[in-house]
Chains A and B, each alone.
Chain A
Amino acid sequence: MAEAKSLRGARAERPLSPHLQVYAMPINMLMSIVHRITGAALYFGSLLLAWWLVAAAAGPDYFNWVNAIYGSLPGRLVLFGYTWALMHHMMGGIRHFIWDTGRGYDLKTIDGLAWGTLLASIILTALVWLAVWVVG
C-alpha cells in the first residue's frame, strides 16, 4: 500500500495558484469575455447601419457621400471588424442557447464549443467578405 507511506517531509502535490507570468486564460473564459466585448462593439456599431439607412432615405447626394466612406479602405476595415464581431457574437449566442438547455457543461464540451465559436466566426466572416469581393 503505497498510500500508507507517510508524506511527511515530502512535497505535497497540491495544485499551485495561477502563476501570473505564465498564466494562460482558459479558452472558454476568453470567448465569454469576447462575447461581451463584441456585444458592446455591436451596440455602438449599430450607428453604422442606422446612418447608412438614414443616408439612403435622405437622397442620392448624401447617400453617395456616406456610401463612399463605407467603401473606402478604412471604411471597409471597420466593416470587416464589424462583420467578425457580429459573427462571433452570434456564434457565442448559439453557445449560450446550448447551455440554456442544460447541456454542454462538461469541460471537454466547454472547450470544444469555445474553439468552435472562434473557428465558425472566422469562417463566416471569410464567407461574407468573399461574397463582398465577388459582388463588388
Chain B
Amino acid sequence: MTEMNMRTPLKRVRALGSAKEGANHFWHQRVTAVANIFLVLGVVWLLVSLVGADYPTVKATLAHPVNALVLGLLAVSGAVHMRLGMQVIIEDYVHGELSKIVLLMLNTFFAIVIGAACLFAVAKLSFGA
C-alpha cells in the first residue's frame, strides 16, 4: 500500500478472491471458453486432416495463414483459459499461503511457456526458411 488509504479493510478485499484478482476471473474464463469451442474444433479438424501426412505437407499446411491464425489464437486463448482454470483448482485445494503463491506462480509460468512455445513454432513455420 503506497498511499494513505481511507477505505476500510473490508472494502479493499471485497470481490478480490483468494488470488487477489477478483471478478474478472470469471469473465475471462467464460470468454476464453467460448473462443476455445471454435478454436478447438478447428484445430481438431486440422490435425485429423494431417494424419499420415508427410513432413512437407504438414509444414506447408501449418504455414497456411488461416491454419496458423487458428493455431495461434488457440495458443493464446487456451493458455489464458487453462491458467485461470488451474488457479481455481489450486485455490480450492492448497491453503498454505506460501505453497499457494508458489504454485500460482508455477501455473503462470507453465501457461506462458506452453503458449509461447506454440506461438513460436507457428511463427517459425510461417515465416522461417
Contacts and interface: CB of A to CB of B under 8 A. Distances in A.
Interface of A: 36, 39-40, 42-43, 46-47, 49-50, 53-54, 56-57, 60, 63-64, 67, 71, 83, 86, 90, 93-94, 96-97, 100, 128, 131-132, 135-136
A132 B51 contact: yes
Contacts of B114: 46-47, 50
B104 interface: no
Given A40-B89, A43-B86, A53-B117, A135 B34 contact: no
Given A40-B89, A56-B62, A86-B44, A94 B52 contact: no
Contacts of A63: 55, 58
A90 B42 CA distance: 13
B48 interface: yes
Contacts of A83: 44
A93 B33 contact: yes
13 contacts: A47-B114, A54-B120, A56-B59, A60-B55, A67-B58, A90-B37, A93-B36, A94-B37, A96-B33, A100-B30, A128-B48, A132-B48, A136-B51
Contacts of A93: 33, 36-37
Contacts, number: 78
Interface of B: 30, 33-34, 36-37, 40, 43-44, 48-49, 51-52, 55, 58-59, 62, 71, 78-79, 82, 85-86, 89, 110, 114, 117-118, 120-122, 124-125, 128
Instruction: Select the residue from A64, A93, A131 with max chain B CB neighbours within 10 A.
Output: A93
Contacts of B52: 71, 135-136
Main secondary structure of the interface of A (DSSP, over half): helix
B49 A135 contact: yes
B49 A54 contact: no
B81 to A, nearest CB: 9
A40 B85 CA distance: 8
A89 to B, nearest CB: 9
Contacts of B89: 36, 39-40
Contacts of B33: 93, 96-97
Contacts of A96: 33
B120 to A, nearest CB: 7
B53 to A, nearest CB: 9
A131 B48 contact: yes
